[in-house]
Amino acid sequence: MKTLETKDHIVFLVYFVIIAVYGYWVYRRKKSASASSKDYFLAEGSLTWWAIGASLIASNISAEQFIGMSGSGFKMGLAIATYEWMAAATLIIVAVFFIPVYLKNKIYTMPQFLNQRYNSTVSMIMAVFWLLLYVVVNLTSILYLGALAINSISGIDTNLCMLGLAVFALVITLGGMKVIGYTDVIQVFFLILGGLVTTYLALNMVSEHYGSSGVLNGFNLMTKNAGEHFHMIFEKDNPNYMDLPGLTVLIGGMWIVNLNYWGCNQYITQRALGADLKTARSGILFAAFLKMLMPVIVVLPGIAAYLLYKEGAFQSEMLQGGEVNPDRAYPVLLNLLPAGLKGLSFAALTAAVVASLAGKANSIATIFTLDIYKKVFNTGADEKKQVLVGKITVVVAMALAFCIAPHLGIDKKGGFQYIQEYTGFVSPGIFAMFILGFFWKRTTSNAALFATIGGFALSVFFKVLPLFADLSFLSPFGFSKDNGSGVYEIPFLDRMGFVFIICVVAMYIISMLESKKSTKEEIVETDETVYGDETIAIAEDGTAIKALKKSQGLEVDTTMFKTTTGFAVGALIICGLLVALYTVFW
């Protein structure tokens, strides 16, 4: 039943009051520092490790996970959990290798990193791109899918849901990153508690259906009666192979998806950029542990719904337009919850959506204010002016998302697939540009430009390639599959892998050609001359004798990557859990 009872409203009201009061308290407590742009955008030096970790998860988990990933659990099973579990491993890599570079070089935004490492052209192109992506793809999808999900369990009009979510997120966002970070701790508490309650009742439903009781019995019955839904690695004949192509999830494109998202994404890295290295790493490690828990919350309910559906339960509820819609699995389960608990799950879903909206809006404001407004429109803007512009940007971005979200057909594509499809066209090039910028000091600005523009062009090329070329010869290697109409397509994750490799090779060639050209330039007068991205040392006779590795103002050394014993132990525990999970559910 798509209604909330009095107990549900009370539970939700308690959640709302706690968030509002705590957020206001944090805002008032830190109001004296609110005029600082770094404090507003980054909560510089204010977030604890547990606040950073909770904020990372709260910003990441939203309606596309609760609804879309549960739907994927219904459709393809536990394999979709690879997005969450591989993210845990990725977070460790980001904490060890990425965050130290950002913090050492006082990087506050991703465009700033590109400007410092390459040049202002690369930086401005990516700043504009990220703003468009965050507003048109991410903010709109989070808002619209969240509204649809809430409508499905409350019956409240979708537009009214969108308005309520947008206003709720605005109130939190306008308080700055400090308010976002600390309220995210409570958001994550409700998110996890409500999610676990839903999982508990879903597994218990499975037990009761088979005349048993208890969640452990429910899980065992699921593995026994829906064993095909408990394989992490798909064979080529699996109908879902195009979505998760075999070993690619372990050694291929899945790494690009996750490393780009967690390491090169303003929306995510911003949570740690205002802390010291030890605090940032501890927070990211905490987030990695929470990531290990996410499939229990968002995937297992979908598998439970699949088994119950297979056994004849809620046949009509899963239909949409005469066909089974996997994305209805989670809302159907929520509507079966008793009063009070349904309100808790409703609060959990709202928390996930609002936290993601607030985090995304803050990142939009940060990039626009620091990387566009201050550099192009008002180079002399003081701290107070920057904070004001940031707040205005938040309101404008949310208003734009509210207006355009219903017209993008997000619900027809499937939320999770919608976001992955559009961000995946640029992820390989961006990641190539970042990874070489970090660890190969000869990478040039022109090479970075190729990755930015050429990476997108290559992604489009591989997408349309099957329309005019027969790719069946790749099928024996697992790199293409018949889509059912005789056309052999390249799986999405494999396309990303191919584009990434091409971008890296092309960037290497471009950089080496430019480096070779620089060494041939005529050198006069100075003992050391800068050519593009290379510094050339000059011998006494005026000849170039050595190319010194120099990254335009970017400091990187191996000592930055050393970790504490506690972090190393935590990282090993996560790696051990991943090995065990993939071994058991291979």
- What is the rounded distance in angstroms from the CA atom of residue 365 to the CA atom of residue 555? 27
CA atoms within a 13 Å half-sphere pointing along the CA-CB vector of 184: 33
CA distances from 305 to 75, 247, 450 (A): 10, 27, 46
Question: Beta partners for 531?
Answer: 534
Answer yes or no: is pLDDT of 365 > 90. no
Per-residue confidence (pLDDT) for residue 41, from 0 to 100: 65
What does the pLDDT look like over 527-568, one tens digit per residue?
443 333 444 444 444 444 333 334 445 777 778 888 899 999
Per-residue confidence (pLDDT) for residue 2, from 0 to 100: 65
Quickly tell me which residue has 């996410």 as its tokens: 294
CA distances from 471 to 258, 451, 487, 510, 578 (A): 27, 25, 8, 29, 34
- What is the rounded distance in angstroms from the CA atom of residue 109 to the CA atom of residue 374? 13
> Torsion angle, CA of 181/292/332/13, rounded to 10 degrees?
-30
Hey, what domains does the chain have and what are their CATH numbers? 46-205+276-415 (1.20.1730.10)
Quickly tell me which residue has 């009061």 as its tokens: 21
| 518 compared with 308, residue with greater pLDDT | 308
Backbone angles phi, psi at 283, to 5 degrees: -65, -40
Answer yes or no: is pLDDT of 458 > 70. yes
- Cβ 389 vs Cβ 379: under 8 Å: no
- Cβ 229 vs Cβ 78: under 8 Å: yes
Per-residue confidence (pLDDT) for residue 522, from 0 to 100: 42
End-to-end Cα distance, the chain: 38
Question: Beta partners for 534?
Answer: 531
Answer yes or no: is pLDDT of 325 > 70. yes
Q: Is the dihedral of CA 491, 497, 501, 506 positive or negative?
A: positive
What does the pLDDT look like over 61-86, one tens digit per residue?
777 777 778 888 888 889 999 999 99
Backbone angles phi, psi at 70, to 5 degrees: -65, -40
Q: Is the dihedral of CA 495, 496, 499, 500 positive or negative?
A: negative
The SS3 call for residue 544 is strand
581 CB-near residues (< 8 Å, 6+ apart) = 85, 232
What does the pLDDT look like over 210-248, one tens digit per residue?
888 888 898 999 999 988 899 999 888 888 888 888 888
> Torsion angle, CA of 257/262/266/269, rounded to 10 degrees?
-170
- Cβ 355 vs Cβ 58: under 8 Å: yes
What does the pLDDT look like over 244-268, one tens digit per residue?
888 888 888 889 988 988 888 877 7
Per-residue confidence (pLDDT) for residue 539, from 0 to 100: 43
The SS3 call for residue 442 is coil
Percent of the chain with pLDDT over 90: 17
* Token representation of residue 106: 């006082």
- What is the rounded distance in angstroms from the CA atom of residue 49 to the CA atom of residue 275? 9
Backbone angles phi, psi at 478, to 5 degrees: 85, 10
Q: Which of 336, 388, 343, 347 is nearest to 365 (CA)?
A: 388
Mean pLDDT, the chain, rounded, equals 81
* 478: alpha, beta or left? (left if phi > 0; alpha if psi -120 to 50): left
What does the pLDDT look like over 269-324, one tens digit per residue?
777 777 788 998 999 999 999 999 999 998 999 999 889 888 887 777 777 667 77
- Cβ 345 vs Cβ 149: under 8 Å: no
DSSP codes, 395-424 = HHHHHHHHHHGGGS-HHHH-HHHHHHHHHT
| 495 compared with 405, residue with greater pLDDT | 495
For residues 570-578, average pLDDT:
94
